[in-house]
Amino acid sequence: MTIKRRLIVSPSEIKAVTLQCSRCSYSMSVGPQDALIIPEECPQGHRWTAYMGGGSGPEKRLAEALSHAIKVEAQATDRGFSLLLEFDAPNP
Ligand SMILES: [Zn+2]
């Protein structure tokens, strides 16, 4: 028998959104309600492409959507459902 553990969180439980350079591992974090401004490159000069085809790329749109979901959830109105994010829990 296999037991799988899951972490289930609401957007309001997100403490930070982190961007990490895929080439040098430099990372920067912002609070989920802060404006996410993606620089054009990391401090080492590795190019970060946050915009594609004249619009925001998927990472930027996801960060904006999470920020909006957090603000909506903070208004504490009963919308009849909750948005929950589910992750595999790390092994103990
Ligand atoms: Zn880098």
pLDDT of residue 3: 81
Kindly give the distance from the C-alpha atom of residue 46 to the centroid of ligand 1, in angstroms, as a whole number: 5
**Alpha-carbon dihedral of residues 76, 74, 66, 35, nearest 10 degrees?**
150
pLDDT of residue 45: 95
Kindly give the distance from the C-alpha atom of residue 41 to the centroid of ligand 1, in angstroms, as a whole number: 7
Kindly give the distance from the C-alpha atom of residue 28 to the centroid of ligand 1, in angstroms, as a whole number: 11
Give the pLDDT confidence of 7-53 residue by residue, as tens digits.
Answer: 998 888 888 888 899 999 999 998 877 877 888 899 999 998 877 66
Kindly give the distance from the C-alpha atom of residue 47 to the centroid of ligand 1, in angstroms, as a whole number: 8
Give the pLDDT confidence of 46-91 residue by residue, as tens digits.
Answer: 998 877 666 777 877 887 787 777 777 777 667 787 788 899 988 7
pLDDT of residue 90: 81
33 with 67: CB under 8 angstroms? Answer: yes
Kindly give the distance from the C-alpha atom of residue 6 to the centroid of ligand 1, in angstroms, as a whole number: 32
| CA distance to 1, 57, 88, per residue, from 9 (Å) | 26, 24, 11
Backbone angles phi, psi at 6, to 5 degrees: -125, 145
